[in-house]
A and B are shown apart, each in its own frame.
Chain A
Amino acid sequence: MTLARNDNDLYLIDLLDRLLAGGVVLTGDVTISLAGVDLVQVSLRALISSVATLVDE
């Protein structure tokens, strides 16, 4: 997914940094949609956290 499709969009993201407290944040959840219908949501943060805990002895 990208917000940056053209110059206007690139500028928009800089504007949103300034106009929103906290800016724009991608949540780390992947929504899988097919033919325009949202079907499944995967939380990658939960997955990564558990893997990271394994590694960081």
Chain B
Amino acid sequence: MADSLVYLYAVGDAALGESLPPGLTGVDGAPVRVIVEGRLGAVVSTVDPVHFDEETLQGNLEDLTWLAETARAHHALVEAVWRHEPVAPLRLATVYLDDDNIHSLLRQRGAAFTAVLDRIRGRREWGIKAFAHGSEDVDADQSADSNLGPGAAYLLRKRMARERGARAQQDVQEAVADLHRALSAAAAASHLYPPQAPQLSGRREPMVLNAAYLVEESEATTFTNAVQTWHSPHVHHELTGPWVPYSFAMLEES
């Protein structure tokens, strides 16, 4: 095992080398510094491999306590940096062997990082989660066909209920498509995530949309107005943000 690894939080302009305030800390309380290469600067910490090498990392990712602490420290640092300069944030636990590797990375993927920075500069991310409204208590179809025995009537009731459920599903899907369309129109870009399971979302109703929208800072009010004025009887939605544009900073994996 190496003595240390380099944890990469984000990549921004080389000016970060001068402008980043001293004393910032990141994951594991590690001090944060900037590695400058050409016109780019990488925001990094030196970290202990015991947590971050390939063998232990997967186990750590499945340990919710470690994951929560590390994610929060990572996020706090990225937000702190963003207050000074826009940066392209990386995923959790992006680690490299040493500083030389970071220099190589910035040289080889320089154009890709620059493209991401150009895309997110002056913009913020907003999150939307939408949930299907619970089904109404429609016990309506007690219209008994007196020719049916109780067993057949039971099956008919169940069949009607399933058909209502299918129609309700369709209404929800159409509402979601409409919401996404309306918000995409007010945004520069969008990204869809898989819906969160109820145990994760903390809601009983199924999540039907989990999306991120990239919005010009100057358009933020227009966007949030669009969110607040959109209504549907089938779906209710929640706004989170503004976020550092995590969802729009992804590079293609090399």
Contact = CB atoms under 8 A, between A and B. Distances in A.
Report A-B touching, CB under 8 Å. Answer: yes
A19 B75 contact: yes
Contacts of B91: 19-21
B199 interface: yes
Contacts of A44: none
A10 to B, nearest CB: 5
B202 interface: yes
Nearest to A18: B246
B71 to A, nearest CB: 5
A15 interface: yes
Contacts of A9: 202
B206 interface: no
Interface in A10-26: 10-21, 23-24, 26
A48 interface: no
A26 B200 contact: yes
Contact of B200 (A11, A19, A21, A24): A24
A12 B68 contact: yes
Q: In which size bucket is the chain A interface?
A: 20 to 34
Contacts of B246: 18-19
A19 B74 contact: yes
A49 B247 CA distance: 33
B61 A20 contact: yes
A18 B202 contact: no
A12 to B, nearest CB: 6
Contacts, number: 57
A20 B62 CA distance: 12
A1 B202 contact: no
Q: In which size bucket is the chain B interface?
A: 20 to 34
A4 interface: yes
A3 B240 contact: no
A14 B127 contact: yes
Interface stretch (B37-45, B171-179, B189-197): B189-197
A53 interface: no
A25 to B, nearest CB: 8
Interface in A31-51: none
B222 to A, nearest CB: 23
B212 interface: yes
B50 interface: no
A23 B199 CA distance: 14
B75 A3 contact: no
A13 B200 contact: yes
Contacts of B67: 16
A20 B202 CA distance: 19
Interface of B: 61, 64, 67-68, 71-72, 74-75, 91-92, 127, 129, 193-194, 196-197, 199-202, 210, 212, 240, 243, 246-247
Q: Which 6 A-B pairs have the closest CB atoms?
A: A4-B202, A18-B246, A19-B92, A2-B199, A13-B200, A17-B193
